[in-house]
Structure 1
Amino acid sequence: MEIYGLKTCDTCRKAIKALPAARFVDVRADGVPEDVMERARGAFGAALLNTRSTTWRGLSEDERAKAPEVLLADHPALMKRPLIVDGDALYLGWTGDVQKSLGVA
């Protein structure tokens, strides 16, 4: 299991603590492998973008109009977090439903 997120993100820290056997990948430092990102885009589409983030608010209207994959490549912190990969299953965020699905709620 891998957790993709930011080491400074409180939500990611909660997921890491609850899933100690998972491997954490900091998207700002290491990025997300293209095959994982492609699967996530297919599964979550535009929901993969965190439009409530400080990074999003700092973008110009022209930048916001770019395709989600371009935005995520240019600004990894725009990804909604955490993105959890458990075999073939993908989870986005750290909601009660995600926690229940992963057996930690």
Structure 2
Amino acid sequence: MTITMFGISNCDTIKKAKKYLQDNNHDFTFHDYRQDGLSAELLSQFVAELGWEQVLNKRGTTYRALSDEQKQNLNSNSAQQYMLDAPAMIKRPILQYQGKYYVGFKAAQYDEIFA
């Protein structure tokens, strides 16, 4: 079954997740938003499966750079537009496996996914 990891290659969490997959002999494809792009359709899939609040990374510097007004008026449409404009605002990694999407990385979470 195909595993696809979405993210940005210089992200520390992405590096940990890639190492986990390699160490556990899971073949995967890596989709880098900066090199491979991010379509509105792909982002819509993430949001439909996970919810925009789960997909939006509120802990990163890109999100914190938004104005207070932008943050207060966030909704699915505005959040998706911000994420399209700045994919660093998407939580990382997003993993696609067996038709489902998973967000974030913790070894225990991946142990469950691939059990």
TM-score of the pair, normalised by structure 2: 0.77
Give unpaired runs (5+ residues) of structure 1.
none
How many residues align? The count is 104
- When structure 1 is superposed on structure 2, of 62-71 and 23-32 the one drifting more is 62-71
3-state SS, counterpart of residue 105 of structure 2:
coil
Correspondence for 2:54 among 16, 22, 47: 47
CA distance in 1, matches of 2:17, 2:107: 11
Partners of 2:57 and 2:41 in 1: CA distance: 20
Contact 1:2 1:22 in 2 (8 A): yes
Task: Give 4+ residue runs of structure 1 displaced > 3 Å after superposition.
Answer: 32-36, 62-66
When normalised by structure 1's length, the TM-score is 0.84
Instruction: Choose between structure 1 and 2 for higher RCO, CA contacts under 8 A separated by at least 6 residues.
Output: 2
| Range that drifts further, 48-57 or 36-45 | 36-45
Q: Matches of 1:33 and 1:85 in 2, distance apart?
A: 16
Change in 2 beyond 3 A, CA 1:51/1:15 = same
Larger Rg: 2
Question: 1:16-50 CA deviation, whole Å, 9 max, x = no partner?
Answer: 12223111111122223444322210122111000
Q: Cα distance 1:3–1:59, how it changes in 2: closer, same or farther (>3 A)?
A: same
Gapped runs of 5+ residues in structure 2? Answer: none
CA RMSD of aligned residues (A): 2.0
Q: Distance in 1 between matches of 2:80 and 2:56?
A: 9
